[in-house]
Amino acid sequence: MSLPEPKHSGYTIEDWKTWEGRWELIHGFAYAMTPAPSPGHQRTSLRLVRAIADALDEGKRRGGGECELFFAPIDLYLPHEESVYQPDILVVCDPAKVTGRGIEGVPDLVAEILSPGTASKDLVRKRWAYEAAGIPEYLIVDPEEAVAELLRLEPEGHYHSVARVEWGANLPILGGRISITLG
């Protein structure tokens, strides 16, 4: 069994393939995906998955496209990177990006649910990586504060906060094609 040393840089996807357990590889750094998320994190994730799934189903009934919802654990391979991400939730509207090994390419939306142990990674490293890759929308959900912030990629290539909403509020996502209620 080959396991990485924490905070050691320089790992590759080939290294990552040999590890047991769940790991994220972000620009050569290994991040263990254990222990499992807390029950509160799981509840928030389930509610968000249900809200997005329901909105996507309604959008499909109205002829609004064939976007597909995925949730952790799922491997995300962004173009031109030696990284493997495992976002909490993502939406892909191009079926060609869904492959046998995971999602390969830029999804249309990524959502991360903050946990005390991983919040800085989600707010800094992942935000920067998602922005650099050109992911159109990044939804950051904070269950402790009962709020979510939607970042949208602007034409100049940087994220801009377009909404910060509390639980119970309606939030348009995917460029306004669908709306979800948070919490």
Domain locations in the chain?
A: 37-181
State pLDDT tens for residues 79-117: 988 899 999 999 999 999 999 999 999 999 999 999 988
> In this structure, what are the phi and psi dihedrals at residue 119, rounded to the nearest 5 degrees?
-60, -45
Burial of 63 (0-12, 13-18, 19+ CB in 10 A): exposed
68: pLDDT strictly greater than 60: yes
- 67: how many CB neighbours lie within 10 A of its CB? 21
C-beta of residue 28 within 8 angstroms of C-beta of residue 11: yes
Provide the CB-side half-sphere exposure for 67 (13 A, CA). 27
The answer, yes or no, to whether residue 4 has pLDDT greater than 70, is: no
The pTM score is: 0.91
Instruction: Name the pLDDT band for 2 (thresholds 50, 70, 90).
Output: very low
pLDDT of 8 reads 52
Tell me the residue ranges of DSSP E strands in the chain.
23-26, 29-32, 68-71, 76-77, 89-92, 98-99, 102-104, 109-113, 137-142, 147-153, 159-166, 170-173, 178-181
What is the structure's pLDDT at 33? 86
User: Taking residues 41-54, what's their average pLDDT?
Assistant: 94
Which band of pLDDT confidence, cut at 50, 70 and 90, is reported for residue 1? Answer: very low
**Contact (CB, 8 A) for 154 and 137:** no
Q: Helix, strand, or coil here: 25?
A: strand
Render the burial of 122-159: b for 16+ CB within 10 Å, e for the rest.
Answer: beebbbebbbebebbbbbbbbbeeebbbbbbbeeeeeb
| CB-neighbour burial class of residue 113 (10 A; exposed 0-12, middle 13-18, buried 19+) | buried
Q: What is the mean predicted confidence (pLDDT) over 128-138?
A: 96
Q: What is the pLDDT of residue 108?
A: 98
Give the pLDDT band of residue 183 (cuts 50, 70, 90). confident
Mean pLDDT, residues 23-36 taken together: 88
CA separation for the pair 137, 67 (Å, rounded):
14
Q: What's the confidence (pLDDT) of residue 80?
A: 87
Mean of pLDDT over the chain: 91
**What local confidence, expressed as pLDDT, does residue 9 receive?**
63
Q: What fold does the segment set 37-181 form as a domain?
A: tt1808, chain A (3.90.1570)
